[in-house]
Amino acid sequence: MDPQLRREDHTGVEREPCHHYPHHRVTAEGEDILAWTENAISERETAAQHATKGPWRTHDTWLPQGGHTATVLTGERNDTQLLAWLPTMSNESWDETRNAWRNADHIALNDPESVLRRCAADREQLELHGRSGDGECHTCVEWSETAYEHVPVPFPCDSFRALAEGYGWTEGKR
């Protein structure tokens, strides 16, 4: 037996992405960018709504067996809850070569309230740059040299495409 862990050992399917990591999937050819982006935002909203309420913060903890540890906590004083434990296995305080504190900072900065605020702002962008009934962006226009006026930009506009790419949208083989 091959000692290396293979994708199908974890997912049960060799050629599909792991269902535990939906943000790692690549968009399928012909998939609708609007529906895909709405689904990506909804996935993040759901995850944030089910996560421990914030605010989240980082803390340095020292353990005799493991050295310094970057932790992510929520709550105050005696009502503190451990959310993440990132051991450095170093006896040196703030050993930057281990990167644990940068990872802890990143986790803490993405607490549920922050994610939900970002999702709400992105939904506003969906409304502004969504598809009209004519297949055009609601907001964006460009100058037409033939019509000598501003004309609507076809959907998806560059703004919408950039929003979708922030959630992992890829053009694939389109």
pLDDT at 126: 94
**Residues 44, 123 share a domain:** yes
Distance CA 67, CA 89 (A): 5
Local mean pLDDT, 10-residue blocks, the chain (174 residues)? 43 50 48 90 97 91 79 87 85 69 90 96 95 91 92 94 93 49
- Is position 65 within any domain? yes
pLDDT at 24: 45
User: What phi and psi, each to the nearest 5 degrees, are found at residue 32?
Assistant: -70, 120
**Residues 72, 32 share a domain:** no
- Is position 30 within any domain? yes
- Is position 25 within any domain? yes
- The domain boundary residue, chosen from 74, 90, 109: 109
Q: Could you say which DSSP state residue 14 is in?
A: S
- Is position 125 within any domain? yes
**Residues 101, 124 share a domain:** no
Domain that holds residue 127: 7-51+112-166
What are the residue ranges of helices labelled H in the chain?
7-11, 33-50, 100-109, 112-129, 158-166
pLDDT at 142: 94
- Is position 173 within any domain? no
**Residues 86, 70 share a domain:** yes
Q: Which strands make up the sheet holding 56-63, listed edge to edge?
A: 56-63, 67-74, 81-90
pLDDT at 23: 47
Indicate the number of domains in the chain: 2
pLDDT at 10: 44
pLDDT at 69: 83
Distance CA 160, CA 30 (A): 17
Distance CA 44, CA 99 (A): 25
- Is position 60 within any domain? yes
- Is position 1 within any domain? no
pLDDT at 93: 63
Strand partners, 59: 71
Q: For the chain, how are helix, strand and coil distributed in percent, rounded to 5?
A: 40, 25, 35
pLDDT at 102: 86
Is the entire prediction scored with pTM above 0.75?
A: no
